[in-house]
Protein backbone atom coordinates (compact mmCIF):
# COMPACT_ATOMS: atom_id res chain seq x y z
CA UNK A 1 0.00 0.00 0.00
CA UNK A 2 1.35 3.43 -0.96
CA UNK A 3 2.06 6.00 1.74
CA UNK A 4 1.59 8.85 -0.74
CA UNK A 5 -0.96 11.25 0.78
CA UNK A 6 -4.12 12.00 -1.14
CA UNK A 7 -6.54 14.90 -0.76
CA UNK A 8 -9.89 14.28 0.88
CA UNK A 9 -13.14 15.88 -0.28
CA UNK A 10 -15.80 15.85 2.40
CA UNK A 11 -19.04 16.10 0.45
CA UNK A 12 -21.71 15.80 3.13
CA UNK A 13 -25.16 14.59 2.10
CA UNK A 14 -25.71 14.08 -1.59
CA UNK A 15 -27.81 16.85 -3.13
CA UNK A 16 -30.01 15.89 -6.05
CA UNK A 17 -29.87 18.42 -8.90
CA UNK A 18 -28.17 21.23 -6.94
CA UNK A 19 -28.44 24.82 -8.10
CA UNK A 20 -24.83 25.43 -7.06
CA UNK A 21 -21.77 23.65 -5.66
CA UNK A 22 -19.58 25.39 -3.07
CA UNK A 23 -15.97 24.25 -2.63
CA UNK A 24 -14.52 25.29 0.74
CA UNK A 25 -10.73 25.69 1.04
CA UNK A 26 -8.81 26.22 4.25
CA UNK A 27 -5.56 28.02 4.84
CA UNK A 28 -2.07 26.71 5.34
CA UNK A 29 1.60 27.62 5.45
CA UNK A 30 4.02 29.21 3.02
CA UNK A 31 6.15 26.05 2.94
CA UNK A 32 5.40 22.71 4.57
CA UNK A 33 5.37 19.19 3.20
CA UNK A 34 3.82 17.86 6.41
CA UNK A 35 0.58 16.00 5.78
CA UNK A 36 -2.67 17.80 6.40
CA UNK A 37 -4.74 16.25 9.14
CA UNK A 38 -8.44 16.75 9.93
CA UNK A 39 -7.61 18.21 13.34
CA UNK A 40 -5.38 21.00 12.02
CA UNK A 41 -6.79 24.44 12.75
CA UNK A 42 -6.55 25.63 9.14
CA UNK A 43 -9.26 23.15 8.20
CA UNK A 44 -11.21 23.26 11.44
CA UNK A 45 -11.82 27.00 11.22
CA UNK A 46 -13.65 26.49 7.92
CA UNK A 47 -16.14 23.93 9.20
CA UNK A 48 -18.48 26.58 10.67
CA UNK A 49 -18.74 28.06 7.16
CA UNK A 50 -19.35 24.64 5.61
CA UNK A 51 -22.07 23.74 8.12
CA UNK A 52 -23.67 27.17 7.87
CA UNK A 53 -23.85 26.98 4.07
CA UNK A 54 -25.24 23.44 4.17
CA UNK A 55 -28.06 24.68 6.40
CA UNK A 56 -28.68 27.73 4.20
CA UNK A 57 -29.90 25.98 1.07
CA UNK A 58 -31.04 22.40 0.60
CA UNK A 59 -30.29 22.61 -3.11
CA UNK A 60 -26.67 23.70 -2.57
CA UNK A 61 -23.92 21.08 -2.33
CA UNK A 62 -21.18 22.29 0.01
CA UNK A 63 -17.93 20.32 -0.06
CA UNK A 64 -14.79 20.96 1.98
CA UNK A 65 -11.33 19.95 0.80
CA UNK A 66 -8.54 18.62 2.98
CA UNK A 67 -5.23 19.17 1.18
CA UNK A 68 -2.48 16.57 0.97
CA UNK A 69 0.10 18.93 2.49
CA UNK A 70 -0.03 21.92 4.79
CA UNK A 71 2.00 24.28 2.59
CA UNK A 72 1.73 26.29 -0.62
CA UNK A 73 5.18 24.97 -1.50
CA UNK A 74 6.17 27.17 -4.43
CA UNK A 75 6.93 26.45 -7.19
CA UNK A 76 4.77 23.32 -6.82
CA UNK A 77 1.73 25.20 -5.48
CA UNK A 78 0.44 21.90 -4.18
CA UNK A 79 -3.01 23.16 -3.00
CA UNK A 80 -3.88 24.02 -6.61
CA UNK A 81 -3.34 20.43 -7.71
CA UNK A 82 -5.57 19.27 -4.85
CA UNK A 83 -8.30 21.77 -5.74
CA UNK A 84 -8.17 20.71 -9.39
CA UNK A 85 -8.65 17.14 -8.23
CA UNK A 86 -11.66 18.23 -6.16
CA UNK A 87 -13.17 20.11 -9.10
CA UNK A 88 -12.73 17.06 -11.31
CA UNK A 89 -14.73 15.02 -8.80
CA UNK A 90 -17.40 17.71 -8.57
CA UNK A 91 -17.62 17.84 -12.36
CA UNK A 92 -17.97 14.07 -12.56
CA UNK A 93 -20.97 14.15 -10.21
CA UNK A 94 -22.52 17.46 -11.26
CA UNK A 95 -21.25 18.14 -14.79
CA UNK A 96 -23.30 21.24 -15.58
CA UNK A 97 -23.51 22.93 -12.19
CA UNK A 98 -21.55 26.11 -11.51
CA UNK A 99 -19.16 26.42 -8.58
CA UNK A 100 -18.39 29.05 -5.96
CA UNK A 101 -15.09 28.73 -4.10
CA UNK A 102 -14.84 29.94 -0.49
CA UNK A 103 -11.23 30.15 0.67
CA UNK A 104 -9.46 31.49 3.74
CA UNK A 105 -5.88 32.79 3.60
CA UNK A 106 -3.97 30.27 1.43
CA UNK A 107 -7.37 29.00 0.31
CA UNK A 108 -8.07 32.48 -1.08
CA UNK A 109 -4.83 32.34 -3.03
CA UNK A 110 -5.72 28.90 -4.36
CA UNK A 111 -9.17 30.08 -5.42
CA UNK A 112 -7.70 33.05 -7.29
CA UNK A 113 -5.34 30.73 -9.17
CA UNK A 114 -8.22 28.46 -10.19
CA UNK A 115 -10.90 30.83 -11.32
CA UNK A 116 -9.59 31.76 -14.77
CA UNK A 117 -8.01 28.42 -15.70
CA UNK A 118 -10.28 26.82 -18.36
CA UNK A 119 -8.70 23.41 -17.91
CA UNK A 120 -9.79 23.50 -14.27
CA UNK A 121 -13.22 25.04 -14.35
CA UNK A 122 -14.73 22.88 -17.05
CA UNK A 123 -15.17 25.46 -19.81
CA UNK A 124 -13.28 23.09 -22.10
CA UNK A 125 -14.30 20.89 -23.75
CA UNK A 126 -17.09 23.03 -25.14
CA UNK A 127 -19.91 20.60 -24.41
CA UNK A 128 -19.94 21.44 -20.69
CA UNK A 129 -21.14 24.68 -19.12
CA UNK A 130 -19.67 24.16 -15.66
CA UNK A 131 -17.39 26.90 -14.39
CA UNK A 132 -16.38 28.77 -11.28
CA UNK A 133 -18.68 31.77 -11.16
CA UNK A 134 -17.61 33.35 -7.89
CA UNK A 135 -15.01 33.49 -5.15
CA UNK A 136 -15.29 34.42 -1.50
CA UNK A 137 -11.76 35.29 -0.33
CA UNK A 138 -11.57 35.48 3.46
CA UNK A 139 -8.41 37.29 4.63
CA UNK A 140 -6.72 36.12 1.43
CA UNK A 141 -2.99 35.59 1.16
CA UNK A 142 -2.23 37.52 -2.01
CA UNK A 143 1.49 38.32 -1.70
CA UNK A 144 1.86 39.53 -5.29
CA UNK A 145 -1.22 41.73 -5.13
CA UNK A 146 -2.11 40.74 -8.70
CA UNK A 147 -3.81 37.42 -8.00
CA UNK A 148 -7.23 38.55 -9.29
CA UNK A 149 -6.04 40.99 -11.95
CA UNK A 150 -7.20 38.68 -14.76
CA UNK A 151 -10.60 37.96 -13.22
CA UNK A 152 -13.21 38.04 -15.98
CA UNK A 153 -16.09 40.51 -15.78
CA UNK A 154 -18.67 37.70 -15.71
CA UNK A 155 -17.38 36.44 -12.35
CA UNK A 156 -18.24 37.67 -8.86
CA UNK A 157 -15.80 38.38 -6.05
CA UNK A 158 -16.26 39.05 -2.35
CA UNK A 159 -13.21 39.84 -0.25
CA UNK A 160 -13.58 40.03 3.52
CA UNK A 161 -10.53 41.07 5.53
CA UNK A 162 -9.81 41.93 9.14
CA UNK A 163 -8.63 45.51 9.56
CA UNK A 164 -6.01 44.45 12.13
CA UNK A 165 -4.72 41.41 10.19
CA UNK A 166 -0.97 41.01 10.65
CA UNK A 167 -0.66 37.71 8.74
CA UNK A 168 -2.00 38.86 5.38
CA UNK A 169 -2.35 42.41 4.11
CA UNK A 170 -5.84 43.98 4.04
CA UNK A 171 -4.57 46.95 2.01
CA UNK A 172 -3.40 44.65 -0.77
CA UNK A 173 -6.76 42.88 -0.73
CA UNK A 174 -8.64 46.16 -0.96
CA UNK A 175 -6.55 47.45 -3.86
CA UNK A 176 -6.94 44.16 -5.74
CA UNK A 177 -10.71 44.24 -5.24
CA UNK A 178 -10.95 47.85 -6.37
CA UNK A 179 -8.99 47.09 -9.56
CA UNK A 180 -11.32 44.18 -10.29
CA UNK A 181 -14.38 46.39 -9.78
CA UNK A 182 -12.91 49.05 -12.09
CA UNK A 183 -12.72 46.41 -14.84
CA UNK A 184 -16.41 45.62 -14.46
CA UNK A 185 -16.18 42.63 -12.14
CA UNK A 186 -18.95 42.34 -9.55
CA UNK A 187 -16.39 42.81 -6.78
CA UNK A 188 -16.96 43.92 -3.20
CA UNK A 189 -14.53 44.52 -0.36
CA UNK A 190 -15.77 44.22 3.22
CA UNK A 191 -13.48 45.34 6.07
CA UNK A 192 -14.18 43.72 9.42
CA UNK A 193 -12.73 44.83 12.77
CA UNK A 194 -10.38 42.09 13.93
CA UNK A 195 -7.50 39.92 12.83
CA UNK A 196 -6.67 37.08 10.49
CA UNK A 197 -8.40 34.13 12.09
CA UNK A 198 -11.98 35.43 12.02
CA UNK A 199 -12.43 35.07 15.78
CA UNK A 200 -13.78 38.58 16.23
CA UNK A 201 -17.19 39.35 14.70
CA UNK A 202 -17.65 35.79 13.39
CA UNK A 203 -21.25 36.47 12.42
CA UNK A 204 -20.16 39.23 10.05
CA UNK A 205 -17.79 36.87 8.24
CA UNK A 206 -20.35 34.10 8.00
CA UNK A 207 -23.30 36.33 7.06
CA UNK A 208 -21.37 38.01 4.25
CA UNK A 209 -20.33 34.61 2.90
CA UNK A 210 -23.84 33.21 3.14
CA UNK A 211 -25.45 36.20 1.44
CA UNK A 212 -22.96 36.08 -1.42
CA UNK A 213 -23.48 32.34 -2.00
CA UNK A 214 -27.26 32.53 -1.71
CA UNK A 215 -27.34 35.43 -4.17
CA UNK A 216 -25.49 33.39 -6.78
CA UNK A 217 -27.67 30.35 -6.07
CA UNK A 218 -30.81 32.46 -6.58
CA UNK A 219 -29.46 33.68 -9.92
CA UNK A 220 -28.71 30.08 -10.92
CA UNK A 221 -32.27 29.00 -10.05
CA UNK A 222 -33.69 31.89 -12.06
CA UNK A 223 -31.55 30.94 -15.05
CA UNK A 224 -32.84 27.36 -14.85
CA UNK A 225 -36.45 28.56 -14.73
CA UNK A 226 -35.83 30.80 -17.73
CA UNK A 227 -34.35 28.05 -19.87
CA UNK A 228 -36.64 26.52 -22.50
CA UNK A 229 -37.76 22.98 -21.75
pLDDT of 227 higher than 60: no
- Yes or no: say if 10 and 88 are a contact pair by the CB < 8 Å rule: no
pLDDT of 21 higher than 80: yes
Domain of residue 149 covers 8-224
**Count of positions (residues) in the chain:** 229
The answer for residues whose C-beta is within 8 angstroms of residue 193's C-beta and 6 or more apart is: 162, 163, 164, 200, 201
Could you tell me if residue 59 is inside a domain?
Answer: yes
Could you tell me if residue 212 is inside a domain?
Answer: yes
- The whole-number average pLDDT for the span 32-61 is 96
pLDDT of 182 higher than 50: yes
Question: What is the predicted pLDDT for the residue at 191?
Answer: 98
pLDDT of 174 higher than 80: yes
Question: What is the predicted pLDDT for the residue at 129?
Answer: 47
pLDDT band at 226 (very low <50, low <70, confident <90, very high): low
pLDDT band at 221 (very low <50, low <70, confident <90, very high): confident
Question: What is the predicted pLDDT for the residue at 25?
Answer: 98
DSSP state of 12: -
Who has greater pLDDT, 115 or 14? Answer: 14
pLDDT of 151 higher than 80: yes
Could you tell me if residue 2 is inside a domain?
Answer: no
Q: What is the pTM of this model?
A: 0.93
Question: What is the predicted pLDDT for the residue at 222?
Answer: 84
Could you tell me the CA-to-CA distances from 161 to 67, 83, 109, 155, 189 in Å, in that order? 23, 22, 13, 20, 8
Question: What is the predicted pLDDT for the residue at 229?
Answer: 40
Domain with 51 in it: what CATH number? 3.40.50.1820
Could you tell me if residue 133 is inside a domain?
Answer: yes
Who has greater pLDDT, 128 or 147? Answer: 147
Q: Would you give the distance in Å from CA 56 to the centre of its chain? A: 17
Could you tell me if residue 131 is inside a domain?
Answer: yes
Could you tell me if residue 1 is inside a domain?
Answer: no
- The whole-number average pLDDT for the span 102-127 is 73
Query: How many domains is the chain partitioned into structurally?
Result: 1
Amino acid sequence: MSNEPIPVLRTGRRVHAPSLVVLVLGGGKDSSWARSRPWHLAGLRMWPFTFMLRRSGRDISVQQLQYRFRGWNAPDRSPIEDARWALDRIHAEYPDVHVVVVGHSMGGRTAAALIDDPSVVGVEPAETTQKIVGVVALAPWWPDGTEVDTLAADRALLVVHGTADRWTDPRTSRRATERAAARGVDARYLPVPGGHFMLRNPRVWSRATRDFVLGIAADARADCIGEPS
